[in-house]
Amino acid sequence: MISKNKSISKLLLSIISLVLCLVLVAGHTIPLAAASGKTSKQLEEARQKSKELKKKLSSAQAELDDLRSVRKEKSDDLAWLEGRTREQQEAYEDALNRKNNALLVMEQTSSDYAAAVQEYEDQVEAYGERLALMYQLPKVSIFEVLLSSSDMQSYFSTNKLIRIISDTDELMLTRLQEAEAYAEEMKVQAEASFLDMERLVAEADELLAEIKANRDISAAELKKASSAVSEAERESLDAAAEMKKAEAEIASLQEKYKKELAAEEAARKAEEETRKKAAAETEAKKKSSSGNQVSKSGWTWPVPASRSISSYYGYRNLFGYRLHTGIDIPASKGSKVVATKSGVVLRCSRSTNEGNFVTVDHGNGFISVYKHLSKYGSSPGQRVSAGQTIGYVGNTGRSTGPHLHFEIQKNGKAVNPLKYVR
């Protein structure tokens, strides 16, 4: 068991080491894609967040719409109740006025009644006094009256007068009694009317209080709805601000990502360019070194810096139809010109057509010729080996640009140099 556990541990250790190695290697081999990859992930996260915020914002706005419609309802309710309150206030005030009028009427009729009663009572008293005077006095001295009368007719006249006075008094009393009864009826009616008015006022007041209470409730509800709307508006604004921020972050991440991608692309291109350049240089070196290599037969290329040929050996329509006796190798002025085979420098001369030129004798009837040189790099009689500098590329003589005219003569006759140098 123990040994099995040990071997498992060993296996685990080697796996971990291997993974670590791979991680380290991977870490070294992919440093470029890391930046944009990270930003791309951040961008994805920011987009996800923005999506959620958008959802949140739209639900906040929907809630806000709902709350606004509730507030509108409450506001309408309140407006209606305020209208009703005003109406009821007017109704109440009207009832109050009517009650006050009824009170005045009641007071007036009451005082009228009191006056009627008083008058009736006064008259009853006066009448009683008169009757007592007229009937009781004579009882005491009836004979006195009779005796004082001149005759019997006078006595009767007096008696009749007393009766007339008494009748008038009775009629007046009856009328006063009627007036009193009327005044009482008026007073009772006024009292009833006042009670009605009082009831009306109480009812109007009660209704007004009820409407006012409803209005207060409605106002409280409106206040609540308004504050809910305000809060929802704030939340909506917050959500919008958050959304805007998220969008700005996305924009900035996008910009960053774009720049990173561009930088990575530029770095990749630069790397590729460097690699290509290095490869080209390696290739050129290989070529030039191979160009400078001396072949088995002892020949080598005359201009190590340039492998191109602008004009070949053969019949050309150049300055009239005639033989071009060598090859033209274009190269920048001052490039080295080397002896294509070991030998002895024969001439370093100058002519109108050839400009500065050098010839080298290689023996066995072979002579090489180098024309249009800017400078000589050797002197006649000098022994040179293949690849040794004998002059420099120029544009002297009949020439349209810096190049070397290279020529090989065999037994005094120009031959194709590409048969010997490559």
Contact 86, 207 (CB under 8 A): no
- Give me the least distance between CB of 278 and Zn ion, in Å please: 35
- Give me the least distance between CB of 275 and Zn ion, in Å please: 38
**Closer residue to Zn ion, CB minimum distance, 143 or 321:** 321
Q: Which window, 212-220, 262-270, 282-290, 321-329, contacts Zn ion (CB under 5 A)? A: 321-329
Q: How many residues bind Zn ion (CB under 5 A)?
A: 2
- Give me the least distance between CB of 418 and Zn ion, in Å please: 13
**Closer residue to Zn ion, CB minimum distance, 74 or 405:** 405
Contact 327, 358 (CB under 8 A): no
Write phi, then psi, for 149 (nearest 5 degrees): -70, 145
Q: Which window, 184-192, 332-340, 358-366, 398-406, contacts Zn ion (CB under 5 A)? A: 398-406
**Closer residue to Zn ion, CB minimum distance, 341 or 405:** 405
* Of 402, 399, 421, nearest in space to 295 by CA: 421
- Give me the least distance between CB of 406 and Zn ion, in Å please: 8
Find how far residue 47's CA is from the centre of its chain: 14
328 contributes a contact to Zn ion by CB under 5 A: yes
Contact 338, 288 (CB under 8 A): no
Write phi, then psi, for 218 (nearest 5 degrees): -60, -40
DSSP state of 294: P
- Give me the least distance between CB of 332 and Zn ion, in Å please: 17
Residue in this structure with the two tokens 């006075």, named with its chain if needed: 165
**Closer residue to Zn ion, CB minimum distance, 199 or 419:** 419
Q: Which window, 228-236, 283-291, 341-349, 402-410, contacts Zn ion (CB under 5 A)? A: 402-410
**Closer residue to Zn ion, CB minimum distance, 236 or 409:** 409
Instruction: State how far the Cα of 159 lies from the Cα of 149, in Å rounded to an integer.
Output: 11
Angle at which helices 137-148 and 152-292 cross, to 10°: 130
- Structure tokens, 343: 């030998």
**Closer residue to Zn ion, CB minimum distance, 145 or 415:** 415
DSSP readout, 383-410?
EE-TT-EEEE-B--SS-SSSEEEEEEEE
Q: Which window, 174-182, 270-278, 293-301, 403-411, contacts Zn ion (CB under 5 A)? A: 403-411
- Which residues lie below 8 Å from residue 111, measured CB to CB, with a gap of 6+? none
Question: How large is the greatest C-alpha to C-alpha distance in the chain, in angstroms?
Answer: 225
- Structure tokens, 189: 């009616």
Comparing every residue's Cβ against Zn ion, the nearest one is 405
| Touching Zn ion, residues 44-73 (CB under 5 A) | none
388 by DSSP, 3-state: which? coil
The pairing of strands 343-351 and 336-338 is unpaired
- Give me the least distance between CB of 317 and Zn ion, in Å please: 14
**Closer residue to Zn ion, CB minimum distance, 258 or 316:** 316
Q: C-alpha distances in angstroms, 244 versus 48, 49, 64, 141?
A: 14, 12, 19, 129
**Closer residue to Zn ion, CB minimum distance, 260 or 328:** 328
| Touching Zn ion, residues 246-265 (CB under 5 A) | none
Q: Which window, 82-90, 220-228, 323-331, 408-416, contacts Zn ion (CB under 5 A)? A: 323-331
Q: Which window, 50-58, 111-119, 143-151, 404-412, contacts Zn ion (CB under 5 A)? A: 404-412
**Closer residue to Zn ion, CB minimum distance, 139 or 413:** 413
Instruction: State how far the Cα of 398 lies from the Cα of 99, in Å rounded to an integer.
Output: 140
**Closer residue to Zn ion, CB minimum distance, 39 or 359:** 359
Q: Which window, 103-111, 174-182, 283-291, 401-409, contacts Zn ion (CB under 5 A)? A: 401-409
Residue ranges binding Zn ion (CB under 5 A): 328, 405
